């Protein structure tokens, strides 16, 4: 780990972004091997931040199941969520949210997916807004956008349409 830290400083100093990302990925895997997931997430988060604009996929996928497991933890913590979902899809671990989004011409945003999930519950609008910590007006804006993208006009139809897309 000390060698990786030294290499990281040199790569940072030389503005070699690809090398920085590769070293951060190795650090994350190293910490994971030491059963220190909290420490593993720090370099992983930085690696994701640097890699996302360049859309790097292979350097994560090449690390195999250990990286897939770390990315699943990152997804649960909502770290670079859209990019992490893309990486997990490259591992063949796309979740239902990703499949719904990919099936639409105009994909749903992460927040719209959160709203859609809650539309399938017994919660009413104000309760959903409170759970998502948004105003009722913002919730209504997201809901209208979901309806438009799914081509429906009520919450039951939206949930049914999402389920149809999942079966495809």
Task: Tell me the CATH architecture of domain 99-167.
Answer: Orthogonal Bundle (1.10)
Domain boundaries, the chain: 2-94, 99-167
Place of tokens 């190795």: 26
First to last CA, the chain: 45
Residue 142 near residue 115 (C-beta atoms within 8 A): yes
pLDDT value of residue 17: 93
* 133: helix, strand or coil: coil
pLDDT value of residue 167: 67
**What is the rounded CA–CA span in Å between residue 109 and residue 148?**
13
pLDDT value of residue 40: 93
**Full-model pTM:** 0.55
Helix orientation angle between 81-90 and 65-76, rounded to the nearest 10 degrees: 150
pLDDT value of residue 137: 93
Residue 122 near residue 131 (C-beta atoms within 8 A): no
| Nearest one of 84, 35, 87 to 62, comparing CA atoms | 87
**CA-CA-CA-CA torsion sign (34, 38, 40, 43):** negative
Ramachandran class of 109: left when φ > 0, alpha when ψ lies in -120 to 50, beta otherwise: beta
Element (H, E) at 75: helix 65-76
**What is the rounded CA–CA span in Å between residue 130 and residue 105?**
30
Output phi, psi for 9, to 5 deg: -60, -45
pLDDT in tens, the chain (168 residues): 899 999 999 999 999 999 999 999 999 999 999 999 999 999 999 999 999 888 888 889 888 888 988 998 888 887 777 888 888 888 775 554 554 444 455 777 888 888 998 998 889 999 999 999 999 999 999 999 999 888 889 999 998 888 887 765
């Amino acid at each position: 780990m000390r060698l990786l830290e030294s290499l990281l400083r040199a790569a940072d100093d030389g503005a070699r972004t690809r090398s920085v990302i590769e070293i951060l990925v190795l650090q994350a895997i190293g910490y994971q091997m030491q059963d220190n997931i909290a420490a593993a997430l720090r370099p992983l988060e930085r690696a994701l931040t640097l890699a996302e604009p360049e859309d790097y996929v292979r350097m994560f996928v090449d690390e195999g199941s250990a990286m897939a497991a770390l990315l699943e933890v990152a997804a649960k913590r909502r770290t670079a969520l859209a990019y992490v979902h893309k990486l997990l899809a490259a591992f063949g671990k796309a979740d239902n949210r990703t499949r719904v989004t990919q099936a639409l011409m105009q994909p749903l945003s992460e927040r719209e997916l959160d709203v859609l999930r809650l539309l399938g519950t017994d919660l009413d609008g104000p309760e959903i807004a409170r759970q998502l910590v948004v105003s009722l007006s913002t919730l209504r804006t997201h809901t209208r956008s979901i309806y438009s993208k799914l081509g429906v006009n009520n919450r039951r139809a939206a949930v049914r349409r999402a389920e149809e897309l999942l079966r495809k």
